[in-house]
Amino acid sequence: MKIQVRDVPPRSVWALRQAGVHPLLAQLYAARGVHAAEELDDGLARLLPPASLQGSTEAAALLADALASGKKICIVADYDCDGATACTVALRGLRLLGAQHVSYLVPDRVIDGYGLTPPIAERVKAIGADVLVTVDNGIASIEGVARAKALGMQVLVTDHHLPALINGQVVLPGADVIVNPNQPGCGFESKSIAGVGVMFYVLLALRAELRARGVFDAGSQPKLDALLPLVALGTVADVVKLDANNRRLVAQGLKRIRAGALPAGIASLFKAAGRQAPVATTFDFGFALGPRINAAGRLADMTLGIECLLTDDPVRADALALMLDGINRERRHIESGMREQAQLAADAMIDEDEEPPPALAIFDPDFHEGVVGIVASRIKDKLHRPTFVFAASQAPGKAHELKGSGRSIPGFHLRDALDLVAKRHPGVLLRFGGHAMAAGCTIAEENFEVFEQALQQVAREWLDAATLTRRLDTDGPLAPEYRRADLVETLHREVWGQGFAAPTFSEEVEVVSQRLVGEKHLALKLKHQGQPVDGIWFGHTEALPARVTLAFRLDADEWHGVKRVRFLVEAAEIRPGKL
């Protein structure tokens, strides 16, 4: 692990401090690319205008016409947290704006696979829908959209994923309207907006269209801000980059949750996770609520997650949240076993004292396809290599296929790597898609080794020693006057996440004493700049030298009514000869 300190532009720090930003926050923000206080304004008025999102105006007209003529609308959602929140936002929002006939359908991960397929289009038609709206999927559903159109339905695709590549060319589905910032020609600045954010923008555009048509005026129009807690949850849970626009959406959602203005389902999920909504953080979204909703799509039926977010009945919300909590416990149990098996498989690829291969592909017949993505992420984090984990398909008639989920490291665009594999080995990839950092694919089991070797070859060509070296960006030393519990709480209230990392400090400290707790965590007594402070390194058991450079986050715990700062250790950089 190479611990390095972020560059901090002094002019940006000065400008932020002159505007009244706390000195520590000014340093942290400047290191993350914020140059002026105006960029920190999280007011709704600062959101990018809906009209700048290509297709939103046309989508608004299509939906306004559907509402006016009483057409039946069906939402087709993805089976992850982004898809569940996007579906809920669509249903709640359309009903707020006057929709009388709106339903939803979520494909089954095992039986249906991802996205709008022809069979899904047929099921939507069978329930009597006139308009099919995709959320968090559809941009690569060429055949599914074509089937829906052939069945006489109007199709609106709302998505944020990259379009399909066929023979190296971008191919878009033949939908009536596409709203996706990553489609060719779209000038929307926030390319990282989540699927739930795209749907929220479509609703903003629809409300403007209905206002223009005289359905209501500015004073009587429905308020859509009640949807922002859902937008915030889906945005953080999907691990999209928190650019300025996404941070505003998340900040607005957090404000409402902390003030008690949140859907019953989110309140129940906080309760089931043992978290406190009045002090909600992005950490709660990413590590407590999001996984409980995702678990439904991985092991059961995402309908449970959507119904939890949809209901206004606190008693029903509590019951559904407890069900989701139970499914998540099962998910963790399955994941733990798979992670151990995957790690053994990865270790078998690595000779003693040698580096891992530049990319990993792991398959075991006992793996559960609903958890392969999480396991790939864990292995990627441990070995710092692009990693695919495969499981045998459980879909009827697909027993010969393997479904894989991949996670990548900075500098290796996973979807583009799959595209190159597909060009070099035609027919090996039956289906694939995704982003730079996460992607999925389906292959025939007999082609696993071909895929593995092809992926490793691309990795050898694209990755160099510098990229393959694990690095942790930090904010450098922590001034002792900032080691205060009230400041820790201030930091926790800010919006941190993907692309806008939570503060992590680093410097040399003295290790006064250390002991194992729970057999797998290292409890530390440290001296930080001559003053005592507690520390803990979760999941680490190896002893540290007397002096060591640590990377750590700040936390505050309470002892006998007194709040104390402690360091949550993330990494250590041990110089040769220090042990």
> What does the pLDDT look like over 3-57, one tens digit per residue?
999 999 999 999 999 999 999 999 999 999 999 999 999 999 999 999 999 999 9
Determine the topology of domain 49-224 in CATH.
inorganic pyrophosphatase (n-terminal core) (3.90.1640)
Q: Specify the DSSP element, H or E, that contains 305.
A: helix 303-310
Cβ burial, residue 579 (10 Å; 0-12/13-18/19+): exposed
Mean pLDDT in the chain?
95
Structure letter (DSSP) for residue 429: E
Q: Is the pLDDT of residue 305 over 70?
A: yes
List Cβ neighbours of 197 (8 Å cut-off, separation of 6 or more). 160, 190, 231, 234, 235, 246, 249
Q: Is the pLDDT of residue 346 over 90?
A: no
**What does the pLDDT read at residue 577?**
52
**What does the pLDDT read at residue 352?**
61
**CATH classification (class only), 349-468:** alpha beta
pLDDT digits (tens, 9 = 90+) for 182-229: 999 999 999 999 999 999 999 999 999 999 999 999 899 999 999 999
Please give the average per-residue pLDDT across 428-456, as a whole number. Answer: 94
- For the record, the structure tokens of 349 come out as 């690829």
- For the record, the structure tokens of 497 come out as 């996440």
Beta strands in 10-108 (DSSP E): 73-77, 102-105
Q: Is the pLDDT of residue 578 over 70?
A: no
Q: Is the pLDDT of residue 518 over 70?
A: yes
| C-alpha dist (Å) from residue 14 to 10, 20, 26 | 6, 10, 8
Q: Is the pLDDT of residue 507 over 70?
A: yes
**What does the pLDDT read at residue 111?**
87
Residue 343's pLDDT band (cuts 50, 70, 90): confident
Cα distance between residue 346 and residue 81, in whole Å? 29
Q: Where are the domains of the chain?
A: 49-224, 349-468, 472-573
Range 472-573 classified under CATH 3.30.565.10: no
**What does the pLDDT read at residue 350?**
75
Please give the average per-residue pLDDT across 221-247, as a whole number. Answer: 97
List Cβ neighbours of 267 (8 Å cut-off, separation of 6 or more). 277, 314, 317
**What does the pLDDT read at residue 435?**
84
Please give the average per-residue pLDDT across 267-282, as a whole number. Answer: 97
Tell which residue, 271, 269, 274, 279, has the closest CA to residue 237: 269
**What does the pLDDT read at residue 353?**
61
**What does the pLDDT read at residue 117?**
96
What is the pairing mode between strands 360-363 and 387-392? Answer: parallel
Tell which residue, 77, 48, 241, has the closest CA to residue 159: 77
**What does the pLDDT read at residue 574?**
78
Cα distance between residue 177 and residue 55, in whole Å? 6
**What does the pLDDT read at residue 396?**
86
The phi and psi torsions of 31 (rounded to 5 degrees) equal: -65, -20
Alpha helix (H) residue ranges in 361-406: 372-383
**What does the pLDDT read at residue 184?**
96
First to last CA, the chain: 16
Q: Specify the DSSP element, H or E, that contains 531.
A: strand 531-537
- Is the pTM of the predicted complex or chain greater than 0.85? yes
Residues 49 and 201: beta-carbon distance below 8 Å = no
Q: Which SS3 state, helix, strand or coil, does residue 499 take?
A: coil
Cα distance between residue 535 and residue 567, in whole Å? 4
What is the pairing mode between strands 401-407 and 547-559? Answer: unpaired
Cα distance between residue 424 and residue 145, in whole Å? 28
Identify the residue whose tokens are 């733990």: 336
